[in-house]
Amino acid sequence: MGVLPVLMYHNVLSNDTELKSFSIHERKLETQFQYLIKHNYVTLHFSELDKLKKIPQKSVIITFDDITINQLEYAAPLLEKYNLKATFFIPFYYIGKSDEWNGMDNPEPIMSLEQIKSLSSNIELGYHSYKHRHFSNLSKIEIENDFEESIRVIDQENLKVFPVIAYPFGNFPRKEPHKSVFFEIMQSFGIKYGLRIGNRINKFPFSSSFEINRIDIKGTENSFQFKWKLKFGKLF
């Protein structure tokens, strides 16, 4: 059994004065990528996991939520520069719009279809729901409609999206019977993996493929904290 940290990023910015929650400076992101390379980490796509009974030592998955344009400007070139793989999660309703669900004064613009299609092959695409709502607040029919709308966009625009979903806000129904119903809905739509937050290191193979933990990487944290999270998940 191997261990598999899944790193979670959001906005990547170049100006210290613009840094806010869920953002990291491009220089700090590059330093973190350099650390992964220097210490022989192997980046994986979720689509590779199906074929693996064992994962390489020091495996890691890099994820970015929301497909904001700043990820195209700063994260994508760094991933290509260091030949690292990552998964970008799409909130399909907001393609070409902005991350207005965050309620910020200056919402971040989200990539257009053309920009999404321009991403290089080291970036895998995944689901981030249709309207970026809390799944635990939705009815069974609303959840089914959300997946149907996401799939409609994927088919209509001929997007190559792997069936892995990062739950918006890390939120999904936790109590039974709602949890089992939610997982059954995802299975019916062909979803293979579901990502929460949790800030824990996963064991692979996963004990529950719809409750994969991610580690929230914050731009305000220093290099020691990044290294600690990469190894242990939570800070002290």
Give the three-state DSSP class for 235.
Answer: coil
Residue by residue, pLDDT tens for the chain (236 residues) are 799 999 999 999 998 766 666 899 999 999 999 999 999 999 999 999 988 889 999 999 999 999 999 999 999 999 999 999 999 999 999 999 999 887 777 889 999 999 999 999 999 999 999 999 999 999 999 999 999 999 999 999 999 999 999 999 999 999 999 999 999 999 999 999 999 999 999 999 999 999 999 999 999 999 999 999 999 998 86
Alpha-carbon distance 166 to 223, whole Å? 25
DSSP state of 73: I
Question: How far is residue 103's CA from residue 124's CA, in Å, rounded to a whole number?
Answer: 28
C-alpha pair distances (Å), 207 with each of 46, 195, 203, 213: 16, 13, 8, 11
- CA nearest 223: which of 36, 16, 21, 84? 36
Whole-angstrom Cα distance, residue 92 to residue 171? 17
Question: Which sign does the torsion angle of CA 173, 141, 194, 117 carry?
Answer: negative
Q: Of 145, 185, 183, 192, which Cα lies nearest the Cα of 165? A: 192
CATH number, domain 2-232: 3.20.20.370
Distance CA 187, CA 171 (A): 17
- Cβ-based neighbours of 98, under 8 Å, separated by 6 or more: 107, 108, 109, 110
What are the domain boundaries of the chain?
2-232
3-state helix, strand, coil in the chain (%, to 5): 40, 20, 40
User: Alpha-carbon distance 121 to 103, whole Å?
Assistant: 32
What is the C-alpha to C-alpha distance for residues 91 and 4, in angstroms, rounded to an integer? Answer: 25
Tell me how far apart the alpha carbons of residues 108 and 114 are, in angstroms, rounded to a whole number.
17
